[in-house]
Amino acid sequence: MRNNNQSIELEYYKKNNISPVHYNLKNLKKHFEIRSSLYQLLGVPPKLVYGKDVLEVAPGSGHNSIYTATLMPATYHLVEPNPLGCQDIVNIFKKLSLRHTKPKLYKLKLGNFKTKKLYDIVITEGWPGGYLDFDKRMLKKLSSFLKPGGIMLISFFPPIGGMATYLRRLIGNRIISNSDNFKDQTNSLNNAFSSHLINLKSMSRSNEHWIQDSMLNPYICVAHNTPELCLKILNHKLQIYNSVPKFADDWRWYKSLHGKSKNFNENFILEYNKVSHSLIDYRINSSRRSIKKNRELEKFCFNFAIKTKNNERLGIKKYKQNIEPLLKKIIQNIKKDLPKNVLQALIEANNLLKKKKIDIYDVKEMKYFSSLFGREQCYLSFIKN
């Protein structure tokens, strides 16, 4: 992939004057409990944030940041380049009546953010991925602001977990037209996929924002990342601390973990590769299978993401020629190890995509695929060596 010097996602947000990352905050207690649970699973209980220096990059509209601010860090710096997101951040903190640390907002791209200050905790969610050269540089830069022994929290988008969304993009682009305006595209896709989204019982965003951020956002097909790719980008200068979902068990005796035998990163990647196939469907509880088959599946899904990017607007002929053969390989890879309804969902999506014409009713009436959503938004915490 050629180098680029800008965020595809940011340019998309600015072009359409959107910040499609709002959560339902009617029940603030529930929202805070969700954030608390995430931080706890990543190894960051509230007392660990209290009195610390915290940097958050790309906080979007600040809906998650208000929780972090109430943990009373000593300093809390936000770096957000989207003008609409910045205005949302200003507004949401004006309304926050709970005791909190007032953040300092830098209305900048990460590439333009400069400081000599190092932070105890560095946070970013939803970006960057690990495929584009620009994203790799930004992930490295993000880690450079971390104190030795500090903790970095990031999300990552595994390509296996993205399969359901890649397929929905292929289907969605057969419904909408490039000549439709942005609002009409959003409405058409909402009409088609609302019967799918209703199956996500814990969804906290509006259908409209999900569609704009997952179905219409050109970044999604190049946003993928994995723990192994993160470690390569970071040159193994950080150790994986925790993850959501929980990928790794470590039954090694702690007294043996010294010198080169510590191998925390290596152990995590080994464990991750035993369970990564489960990411294809959020309804699946973790199970184990062949590392070889999972690495093959991950490679197929990486390729599927790029083929989706290159072919999603080219219609049925290019789908059959360039994408269907790869989907069949993915189905073959998982058919002995995953629940029947996952296979039925992938086959149903393939059959729909082979139709000469797809209409909204076809999508709304899908029996199996309507409930298939992958684990797209996964999390890692790192400790800087």
pLDDT digits (tens, 9 = 90+) for 134-150: 999 999 999 999 999 99
Q: Which residues, 6+ apart, have CB-to-CB distance to 183 below 8 Å? A: none
- Longest CA span, the chain: 64
Per-residue pLDDT of 85-118, as tens digits, reads 999 999 999 999 999 999 999 999 999 999 999 9
Among 141, 25, 136, 137, CA closest to 79:
141
313 has pLDDT over 50? yes
Per-residue pLDDT of 254-312, as tens digits, reads 999 999 899 999 999 999 999 999 999 999 988 899 999 999 999 999 999 999 999 99
Per-residue pLDDT of 236-248, as tens digits, reads 999 999 999 999 9
Hey, what domains does the chain have and what are their CATH numbers?
A: 8-156 (3.40.50.150), 163-222+282-371 (no CATH)
The DSSP output letter for 260 is G
- For the chain, how many residues are written? 385
Q: Which residues, 6+ apart, have CB-to-CB distance to 97 below 8 Å? A: none
Per-residue pLDDT of 59-87, as tens digits, reads 999 999 999 999 999 999 999 999 999 99
- Reading the block at residue 309, the tokens are 């990017």
Rounded to two decimals, the pTM is: 0.95
Alpha helices by DSSP H, the chain = 8-16, 28-41, 46-49, 65-70, 83-95, 133-144, 163-172, 182-197, 207-210, 227-233, 264-275, 291-311, 315-318, 324-334, 340-353, 360-364
* Residue 2 binned pLDDT confidence (cut-offs 50, 70, 90): very low
